[in-house]
Amino acid sequence: MNRRLTNKIATTVFVSCAVIMTATLVYLLGYILTNGLSEVDMDFLTSDSSSAMAGGGIKNQLWNSFYILIVTLLLSAPLGVLGGIYLAEYARPGKLTNVIRTSVEVLSSLPSIVVGMFGLLIFVQYMGLGYSIIAGALALTVFNLPIIVRVTEDSIRSVPVKQKNASLALGITHWHTVKTVLVPAAFPGILTGILLSAGRIFGEAAALLFTAGLSTNRLQFDTWNPFDNNSPLNPFRSAETLSVHIWKVNSQGIMPDVDEIAAGSAAVLIIFVLIFNVTARVVGNIIFNKITGSK
Amino acid sequence: MANAQKSETNNHRLLKSNNSSSKKNEGRGKFLVFTSAVIVIIATIAITVFLGYKGIRTFFVYDVSLWNFLTTTGWDGTENSGAFAFIFGSFAVTFLAALFAAPLGIGSAIFMTEIAKKWGQKFLQPVIEILVGIPSVVYGLIGVTVIVPLIRNHVGGLGFSLLAGMIVVGVMILPTITSISADAIKAIPSDIKDASYGLGATRWQTIYKVIIPAALPSLMTAIVLGMARAFGEALAVQMVIGNVKGLPESLLDSAATLTSIITLDMPHTTYGSVHNSLLWSLGLILLIMSYVFIIIIRFVSSRRKI
């Protein structure tokens, strides 16, 4: 066959791959948003879910999602950043470092359902936390930790070595250099990574089925005592999140408006995930420009 | 820690005589980061040990035969249960999804790195990132509301099928494969591409004879990583595959995977029962497989030439 013709055919094939992929995304987003947004109104966002009757909302699930997200980030961000600093700055090539790297790799490739089972065993049963926000957040920490470790290590390693050497040459100790030179310079990268991971946590469901539970109390948003069972702040109550809710109404829901609830919840979920992704990019760029002084 | 930081910034950043305190801080800082790194190891070991223990118990405490468990079908929650149908289902979904996502993903990667170098990257990068970000329940939901009825009405069967699982999981692993492949292709030195073009090769000839062979180990890594993700995917698969406990006979038959059975059965079993223990063994298979995928990736990427 004529080689020019072959070349043209091949180019067409590659272009169609990219077109298929883009079309899939456009279709997915378009489908979720057009189907879902018509179900979303103030009432949907601010009323309790209902287990048998039509007209349930997602107020508590939405709150739970954010609560678990925040607790998870409070646990995993400091730990992950410190671990990343160790790998980037202190780890010497050797057995221990290899073990740490392998551990990060294993943790990041674990199926989330396996993390959920581990959470069920350790946090829910052995530690006696029951199905709770805190058990869910601990499981998600296991799931999120390797991502933050990696992002931090990469960001710190990409800081120009001259900056570090300049600081060390002034007689500043290594740790102080890390704190005052490396981490600030790596901050945009780390923050972007954390925000992206927030999107992932927000949408995660499999790891939460057996840890945060499939039900939620009727939260009373006027009881702010964290030890009250119906308080939104209580970290020891079971908490169905928005993504778990989508799964649950779809597989076990008996209310007549299952499809509408699922579609509406999915639209809300997608919008928040998109917000996290876009914010991650924008914030990362703004801080990067501020620090480097480029326009 | 917050206090330490505050007092540190209150001091001057320049060299100070105050050496003992900075040494102490140095030690404290080192201890802090080291502890965090060790926690990562502890978490990994804890998961491996506890899941291993719970999974192996089935074969010692409840006298389930390992061979029987791995090779027979028929899942009734008793000592005679066999998980072969689910193991088969997981592998089938994984390979079928890769079969469909790998060419598409590598094709898109070639598009963004070789064909539309300038804007392909700018355009497809956000597409990839958003696809990665879509939660798996949402993929599952679209599977149930779009793909399952589509298969039922136009291809046949119930719709809840291996085919639906393959499509949903394939789309989910597509961005993973694309972005890693694109990185791999970008890492190829432009010298060898230029040499190929210099010899008068067309773009297709260069892609086919130079770029793909040079990037092959990394492309394989991309595919294996995608397969690892497919193997462990739980909710999206569970929602569309039908969860029938026998072996599927065709793509249009309902099936079940390891993850889908764990998801479904776990809440209905009592702690300490055989049925519950069997589920932990399924979880152990998932854990072992994620180690296997890591080993395969290490093996494949050690063959990287460039």
Query: Nearest C-alpha of chain B: how many angstroms from A239?
Result: 16
Using one digit for the tens of pLDDT, what is the confidence trace for A189-212?
Answer: 899 999 999 999 999 999 999 999
Nearest Cβ partner of B287 from A114, A179, A206? A114
Distance from CA of A187 to the nearest CA of B (A): 17
Classify residue A13: in a domain, yes or no.
no
| A276 SS3 class | helix
The neighbouring-strand residues paired with B277 are none
pLDDT band for position A294 (cuts 50, 70, 90): low
Q: Which one-letter amino acid corresponds to residue A146?
A: P
Q: What percent of chain B has pLDDT over 70?
A: 92
| pLDDT surpasses 60 at A287 | yes
Q: Into how many domains does chain A fold?
A: 1
Task: Give backbone dihedrals phi and psi of A187, rounded to 5 degrees, phi first.
Answer: -55, -45
Lowest mean pLDDT among B19-33, B104-118, B191-205, B289-303: B19-33
- The residue range of the domain holding A63 is 38-292
Q: Which residues pair with B255 in a beta bridge?
A: B242
Q: Flag whether pLDDT at B15 surpasses 60.
A: no
- A22 in any annotated domain: no
Q: Pick A25's closest partner by Cβ from B44, B45, B127.
A: B127
Please name every residue paired with B242 in a beta bridge, in sequence order, or none if there are none.
Answer: B255
User: Taking CB atoms and an 8 Å limit, are A83 and B39 in contact across chains?
Assistant: yes
Range with lowest mean pLDDT among A148-157, A266-275, A286-295, B44-53: A286-295
Which of B3, B36, B231, B279 should one mutate to test binding to chain A, selecting the residue with the greatest count of A CBs within 10 A?
B36
Choosing among B5, B8, B11, B47, which should be mutated to test the A contact, i.e. which has the most A CBs within 10 A?
A: B47
Higher pLDDT, B276 or A54: B276
Please, which pLDDT band fits residue B306 given cuts at 50, 70 and 90? low
- The answer to which of A148-157, B109-118, B161-170 has the lowest mean pLDDT is B109-118
Looking at per-residue pLDDT, the higher value among B1 and A95 belongs to A95
Q: What CATH number does domain B84-301 carry, 3.10.180.10, 1.10.3720.10, 3.40.630.30, 1.20.1300.10?
A: 1.10.3720.10
Provide the number of CB pairs (under 8 Å) joining chain A to chain B.
Answer: 269
End-to-end CA distance of chain B: 44
Smallest CA–CA distance, residue A71 to chain B, in Å, is 18
Mean pLDDT computed over every residue of chain A: 89
Sign of CA dihedral A90, A93, A96, A98: positive
Provide the CATH number for the domain around residue A277. 1.10.3720.10
ipTM comes to 0.91
Of A17, A82, A112, the CB nearest to B108: A17
Name the percent of chain A lying above pLDDT 70. 98
A210-235 pLDDT, tens per residue?
Answer: 999 888 877 777 777 777 777 888 88
- Cβ distance B135 to A15 less than 8 Å, yes or no, reads no
Q: Does the residue A176 lie in any domain?
A: yes
Report the pLDDT value the prediction gives residue A293, as an integer from 0 to 100: 66
Residue to mutate among A8, A104, A118, A142, with most B CBs inside 10 A, is: A118
Is the pLDDT at A291 greater than 80? The verdict is: no
Q: What is the Cα–Cα distance from B57 to B81, expressed in whole angstroms?
A: 15
Dihedral angle at the C-alpha atoms of B115, B118, B124, B130, nearest 10 degrees? 160
In a domain, A252, yes or no: yes
State the Cα–Cα distance between residues B81 and B274, nearest whole angstrom. 10
Segment B25-46 shows an average pLDDT of 92
Residue pair B181/B215 in contact by the 8 Å Cβ criterion: yes
CA–CA–CA angle B39, B45, B46 (5° rounding): 85
CA B28 to CA A174: how far, in whole Å? Answer: 12
More confidently predicted of A285 and B109: B109
pLDDT score recorded for residue A80: 95
Distance CA A116, CA B144 (A): 24
Give the model's pLDDT for residue A48. 83
Question: Does the pLDDT of residue B9 top 70, yes or no?
Answer: no
